[in-house]
Structure 1
Amino acid sequence: MHQLSWLEAVVIGALQGVAELFPVSSLGHSVLLPAVIGGSWAQDLDVGAPESPYLAFIVGLHVATALALLVFFWRDWVRIIRGLVTSVVRREIVNSEQRLAWLLVLGTIPVGVVGLLLEHTFRTVLSRPVPTAIFLVLNGVILLGAEVLRRRAVDALPAGQGPSGPAPQRGGVDQAAATVTLRVGAETTTADSTAGEAADRRLAAMPVLRAVGIGTAQIAALCPGISRSGVTMATGLLRGLSHEDAARFSFLLSTPVILAAGVLKLGDLAGPLGDGVRPQILVGSVLSFVGAYLSVRFLTRYFENRSLRPFGIYCIAVGTACLIWFGIR
């Protein structure tokens, strides 16, 4: 049985942490990079092989990525969990915390059910280099298409109107609602907390069907090469969200999905598939955690005033280049 080298663990661990949250498909890159390099990489890092330690390795990386999201959005998750608990105990949905919690639950159910039923089929049938490269190109088309359609929708609105009403500042919240309170002479600031609460209130105001539709889009990410964050952001943009709010909702939606997918397969790490590669899994997971944390920190700021276009162009270029490489090699 093939093992994982330290170099493979370091490269894939760092790649997973970054690519999972950037709208470029971490699974797609995990399939394509070994295929492009070839040799022992293609043998060791075959996610579709049932006896490969690579699957156990990917499980560890997913758990690390989810933990990074939990750490970054810990304030949001405290509010969300509190809202869910109080909603169940009191049998009510009366505030934004409770409503956002249920929107995330309902938005997660479709991909959870389909993932449990078809994940193995998707992985073993589609996780090959050529289909993955094709899906990566399609992912780029989705990102660019969403930007074009959203721009047309915005241009068609009366002057001063945003996709969902009067043109907002910073993704839909009036600047006065996001007033930053600073403590003079102190190192602490409530800026991030205030902005996060305002963003959560905007997301909680979404209609239920809109939230479920955005969450359902994650099913497409079972195809290697289709990005979970990319397809949910694209759907969010088409459903009237700003880039900033679409990214935030995507990250919140993906956290329980990524964590559950990893936890359900943690047994692989303790079983034969984890034998001989647990140290590499640990190192790769640490790098994945760091990469994911830095990525989400960057992307939440990036999407305050930027678009998906660069990522769409990247996916089309890389996917096309891989198809050419596989064709001439």
Structure 2
Amino acid sequence: MFLLLFCLANSFHTFAQAPAAVAKEDEGKDNDTLIRQEQIHNPILWHEPGDIRSLDLFYGQGGRKAQPVAPFSFEKEVRSQSTPKFDARDTAGKRWRVKLGHEARPEVVSSRLLWAVGYFASDDYVLPSAEISGIHMHRGKKYVKGERITDARFARKPSGQKKVYTWRWKENPFTGTRELNGLRVMMALLNSWDLKDENNAIFYDKNNDRQIFLVSDIGTTFGRTGLHFTNGPSKDNVKAYVNSKFILRTTETTVDFATPSRTPSLLLETLGFGIKQYLRRNNMVWIGRGVPRKDAHWVGALLGQLSHRQLVDAFRAGNYPPEDIDQFVRVLEQRIAELKAL
């Protein structure tokens, strides 16, 4: 026990002493540096979504015309993150970030729902099948058959936008606002449990001279309320989503949501070796706790404008089978009703 506490203390000291990198907005590649207060310029987290009932949740904000068009050519593998990804170009010369595996389908559905209520998202699509000329992957080889991939997410930032920073849940220009609290509610609605700060992005929109704050990695959704040693069932798992809790408790003024949750079973599943992940996840639990009721109701009212058909279309965009769509949509509609009733 003494040795374990010593190791934990040393880990926290190392984390606290890690030097901050300096952001360079003029770099050609994405920048993952956390933004500092003095670097904030015209920030925006949410916008009026307009007529929600008229939105096309199958094609999303990019629409039918913005879809990736075959043939595709492989450019490079992205090896900086845990999920297998690579960059590819389509026949129109557009570059797409392609994600394989368990996060591909739920990410597209999640982005459709966030976009529908006024939050920002990338233009993304699930292609049931695609051939990628010259593909060669070090990771995710099980998702590649020859040069063919299935159920892959193709995403790209809207024109004129570039990732320049990341942002913290606990420290940002929107702390305490209805918009940030609404985003916390959306994470609970989707069972989005991997709420690391590095999964948040800031895009600089040069066309409107503003910094767009968004959750850019939302593939750990539609499964359990927290991480488990068996990673697959924690996301993209209709049975787990159907059986998961949504609202834990309410007071006259606040709501506690189940996502993200503490997962003490993670320690048992890993025989104690998951202590670092367990502690890291514990530091995210607050995101789903103590949300003002009025802000949760506000998001519920926005979501309540979506029709049953639109919710079905969101999951069709993720290429889910009809039997899974029925279950996912049933739970979503129940949760939306709970939010509206607050």
* TM-based fold match above 0.5: no
Structure with larger RCO (C-alpha < 8 A, sep 6+) = 1
TM-score (structure 1 length as normaliser): 0.26
TM-score (structure 2 length as normaliser): 0.26
Choose between structure 1 and 2: higher helix proportion: 1
